[in-house]
């Protein structure tokens, strides 16, 4: 006996209402007017690319970090309002961000 049968036994007069389909809306990132900063640093002898300067919500910035990491197939993290990507991927990251409509400024080297 499944759950539907048990509910019919408990509530014989109940008519289940038809469920309305839930429309999923694609999440859009906030595109700002000020450029984001894409810079290169060496931390503990290893190359890292750091993206800073996003003015939207932290959730949007985390989504953006995940998209960048999956597109480039690299590791990285979101920390202290900045995205830290392992390796020197400034050019590739800048093209990805420009495709999304962001303005990006390259800092250092």
Could you report the per-residue pLDDT of 44-83, keeping only the tens digit for each? 999 999 999 888 888 888 888 999 999 999 999 988 889 9
Crossing angle (nearest 10°) for helices 58-72 and 90-99: 120
pLDDT reported for residue 101: 86
Instruction: Reply yes or no on whether the pLDDT at 28 is more than 80.
Output: no
Task: State the Cα–Cα distance between residues 19 and 17, nearest whole angstrom.
Answer: 6
Asked if pLDDT for residue 85 goes beyond 90, the answer is yes
Quote the pTM value.
0.69
pLDDT digits (tens, 9 = 90+) for 86-95: 999 999 999 9
C-beta atoms surrounding 66 within 10 Å: 13
């Amino acid at each position: 006996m499944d759950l539907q049968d048990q509910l019919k036994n408990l509530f014989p007069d109940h008519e289940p209402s038809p469920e309305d389909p839930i429309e999923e809306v694609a999440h859009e990132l906030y595109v700002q007017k000020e450029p984001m900063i894409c810079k290169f640093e060496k931390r503990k002898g290893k190359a890292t690319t750091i993206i800073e300067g996003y003015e939207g919500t932290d959730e949007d910035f985390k989504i953006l970090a995940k998209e960048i990491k999956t597109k480039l197939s690299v590791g990285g993290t979101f920390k202290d309002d900045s995205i830290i990507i392992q390796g020197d991927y400034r050019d590739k990251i800048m093209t990805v961000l420009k495709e999304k409509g962001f303005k990006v400024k390259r800092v250092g080297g």
